[in-house]
Amino acid sequence: MDRTLTFRQHLESVKDKTKTRNNIIAKLAGTSWGCHANVLRTSALALVYSVADYYAPVWARSAHCKKVDVQLNNTMRIITGTVRSTQLDWLPVLSNIAPPDLRRQVQTELMILKLSNYPDLPVQIDIANHPPKRLSSRKPIWGMARSNKSIEELWGNKWTDTNVRNHFLVSVPDSRVPGFELSRAQWTALNRIRTGQGRCNYQLHKWGMTDSPLCECGLIQTTSHIVEECQIRRFEGGIATLHICRPTAIK
């Protein structure tokens, strides 16, 4: 533990461990080949999240938590096959893993509840008779406001408050989205359509990989244009029908 209890050094170590394990998970899948999403999700929970969540209530209020969150976002991108420009709120929904901050919050609340059942523990005195907070940047565990809500409720409220692209496709974020058992190529393509961030001339032109953002039909070729507007490629029923993954959509 560092002298100032910022946990910077510890979280740097956790970040390095999760990055190494992400490299292992990445060997299991590419853009168009690899394991099913369910296999990748199970592997990520066992290898990456087991390290990232280890005794999180101790350091969950550190200002350096984002070092770990960046690597967990990369983990979810591997599972979902999405590109880096995908809005972050989509990643937990598509990978069916709760957001890292909510996982840490719930773990902390469960630990406090567990401690409250043992009033004879010495730690009770430290929490009840804690020293005054001298630095505004510190967020001690005894000052934490408890929500007493399940992680599903917290996640649902957070998803409701977001304003991501194609938000209407998902009403219950903790339920598994359709298509989890699709092949890697289909799963990747579907998720990029859902998030509006994929291989289209608008994005390729933006990244400097093509000369024009226009579609063959003459309009700007975005992902939503391909699925819903293009006279050449559009899917009957649009993105809402495609999201459900019925046989016609898969074909």
Q: Let me know: does 48 contact 127? Beta carbons within 8 Å.
A: no
Q: Note the pLDDT of residue 90.
A: 97
Smallest CA-to-CA distance from 18 within 72, 96, 57, 65 is with 72
Same domain, 120 and 236: no
Q: What's the pLDDT tens digit per position in 39-62?
A: 999 999 999 999 999 999 989 988
**Listed residues 177, 211, 231: the one ending a domain:** 177
Q: What's the pLDDT tens digit per position in 71-97?
A: 999 999 999 999 999 999 999 999 999
Q: What's the pLDDT tens digit per position in 205-225?
A: 988 999 999 999 989 999 999
Q: Note the pLDDT of residue 133.
A: 77
Average model confidence (pLDDT) across the chain: 91
State if pTM tops 0.85.
yes
Range of the domain at 109: 1-177
Alpha-carbon span 159 to 247, nearest angstrom: 29
pLDDT > 90: what percent of the chain? 68
Same domain, 167 and 206: no
Q: Note the pLDDT of residue 101.
A: 94
Same domain, 105 and 154: yes
Alpha-carbon span 239 to 249, nearest angstrom: 10
Same domain, 167 and 203: no
202: number of Cβ within 10 Å: 19
Q: Work out the pLDDT band at 130, boundaries 50, 70, 90.
A: confident
Q: Let me know: does 20 contact 169? Beta carbons within 8 Å.
A: no
Same domain, 158 and 221: no
Q: Note the pLDDT of residue 5.
A: 80
Residue 185 lies in a domain: no
**pLDDT(136) > 80:** no
The residue to which tokens 């505004």 are assigned: 136
The residue to which tokens 């809402």 are assigned: 240
Tokens standing for 136?
């505004």
Q: Work out the pLDDT band at 147, boundaries 50, 70, 90.
A: confident
**pLDDT(142) > 90:** no
Residue 187 lies in a domain: no
| Cα–Cα distance list, 131 to 22, 87, 134 (Å) | 40, 41, 9
Same domain, 211 and 164: no
Residue 119 lies in a domain: yes
Q: Mean per-residue pLDDT for 19-35? A: 94
